[in-house]
Chains A and B, each alone.
Chain A
Amino acid sequence: EAGVAQSPRYKIIEKRQSVAFWCNPISGHATLYWYQQILGQGPKLLIQFQNNGVVDDSQLPKDRFSAERLKGVDSTLKIQPAKLEDSAVYLCASSLNGIADTQYFGPGTRLTVL
């Protein structure tokens, strides 16, 4: 069974530029999560989708971050415009059906904002 796929693995941009990340969850997983992990800290949830609907986006900085999961499968996370403090690893995870199920993580995208 293929795991969670993410791309790109690394991205370097200058502040005020835009960037997009892509995630393809494990096949059949209804729930998809985007996390932000700053160096030295645990992952922080940005947004959770159930199929193509948003379950929780309370910690998503909506003035600059957006995410979509149009067909209930893969998802994109966008930052526009980026700030220096957005430098972090962005992790995508999926679970079969809801937050009480095991979450499986992708390899992450390491973003550096200069």
Chain B
Amino acid sequence: GIQVEQSPPDLILQEGANSTLRCNFSDSVNNLQWFHQNPWGQLINLFYIPSGTKQNGRLSATTVATERYSLLYISSSQTTDSGVYFCAAHSGSARQLTFGSGTQLTVLP
């Protein structure tokens, strides 16, 4: 099945800093999502982005499907951005959404 790798595994930022999280995948995708898991365990859908670029406030994401990677940008980070960010992908040959191992983001005040 498809392999999904995320980097970095851990990231510590000062409030106000910008960051880029990366997701590499091993096959062409027809579903790629970014999620934020907050400290209470809730998985919140950030972007559905199998290709192209999307923006939502301080967050934006870009997927370059031909090169098999996706990037999540967080600008002017806030303490409420802390948590684990997951990338998940599905390729046509698979029967399920495969999650990466996540990036643990800590934003310090």
- Where the two chains meet, the residues of A that have a C-beta atom closer than 8 Å to any C-beta of B are 37, 41-45, 48, 55-56, 58, 89, 91, 93, 99-105, 107-108, 110
Q: Are B42 and A107 in contact (CB under 8 A)?
A: yes
- Top 9 A-B residue pairs of the complex, sorted by shortest distance between their CB atoms: A42-B99, A105-B43, A102-B48, A45-B96, A56-B95, A100-B31, A100-B30, A108-B41, A107-B42
Contact with A along B67-95 (1 / 0, CB 8 A): 00000000000000000001010100001
Q: Are B101 and A42 in contact (CB under 8 A)?
A: yes
Chain B residue nearest to A45 (CB atoms) is: B96
Given A43-B86, A104-B45, A110-B41, 4 other A-B residues pairs in contact with their CB atoms under 8 A: A42-B101, A44-B99, A48-B95, A100-B90
B33 within 8 A of A: yes
**A91 contacts across to B, CB distance below 8 A:** 43
CA distance A101 to B44 in the complex (A): 15
B41 to chain A, nearest CB (A): 5
B97 within 8 A of A: yes
CA distance A99 to B30 in the complex (A): 9
**B95 contacts across to A, CB distance below 8 A:** 48, 55-56, 58, 99
The residue from A42, A56, A93, A104 contacting B102, defined by CB atoms under 8 A apart: A42
Given A42-B102, A56-B95, the answer on whether A102 and B43 have CB atoms closer than 8 Å is no
B7-45 at interface with A (beta carbon < 8 Å)? 30-31, 33, 35, 40-45
CA distance A98 to B91 in the complex (A): 13
CA distance A41 to B9 in the complex (A): 11
**B88 contacts across to A, CB distance below 8 A:** 42, 103
Q: Are A99 and B96 in contact (CB under 8 A)?
A: yes
Q: Are B45 and A102 in contact (CB under 8 A)?
A: yes
B95 to chain A, nearest CB (A): 5
Q: Are A43 and B99 in contact (CB under 8 A)?
A: yes
The residue from B33, B41, B86, B96 contacting A102, defined by CB atoms under 8 A apart: B33
Given A91-B43, A110-B41, the answer on whether A103 and B86 have CB atoms closer than 8 Å is no
